[in-house]
Structure 1
Amino acid sequence: MHHHVLCSSRVWPSASDRVESDRTRGHTQPYHSGRTLEPNHACGAMETAVTLDRAIQISLTKPLRRRTETVSLDKARGRVTARPLASRVDDPRFDNSAMDGFAVRAEDCEGEQTTLTVVGTSQAGGESPPDVGQGQACRIMTGAPMPRGADAIVMIEDTDVQGKTVTVRGPARTGFIRRRAENLSIGQEALPAGTLLDSAKLALAGTMGHGTLDVIRRPRVAILSTGDELIQPGRELSPGQIYESNSHALASLVESMGCEAVRQESANDSLEELRSTLDALSDCDAILTSGGVSMGDWDLVRKLMEQEGDVLFWRVMLRPGGPPLFGSWKGTPLFGLPGNPVSSLVVFHTLVSPWISNSLGYHEEMGPRLSQRVSVKLEDNITGAPGKLCLRRIRIRSENGELLASTHTHQGSGNLHSMVAHNGLTLLPPDTDAKAGEVIEALWIL
Structure 2
Amino acid sequence: MSNLAQKRILLGITGGIAAYKSIELIRLLTKAGADVQVVLTEGAKAFVTEMTLQAISGHPVRSTLLDPNAEAGMGHIELAKWADLIVIAPASADFMARYAQGMANDLLSTLCLATESPVLLAPAMNQAMWRHPATQANTKLLTERGVLSIGPADGAQACGDIGPGRMSEPSDIFNTIMTHFDKTQVKQDLVGQHWVITAGPTMEAIDPVRFISNHSSGKMGYALATAAIARGATVTLISGPVQITAPAGAKIILVKSADEMLAACEQSMITQADVFIGAAAVADFKMKAACDQKMKKQSDTDEITLTLVKNPDIIATLAQQKRAKTLVGFAAETQNVIEYAKSKLERKGLDIIIANDVSRADIGFNQDDNQVTVITKDKTWSPDKTTKNALAGQLVEFIQQQTQS
Q: TM-score if structure 1 supplies the norm length?
A: 0.27
In our comparison, the structure showing a higher alpha carbon Rg is 1
Q: Which protein is richer in helix relative to its size?
A: 2
Question: Which is bigger in relative contact order (C-alpha 8 A, separation at least 6)?
Answer: 1
Q: Which protein is richer in strand relative to its size?
A: 1
Q: TM-score if structure 2 supplies the norm length?
A: 0.29
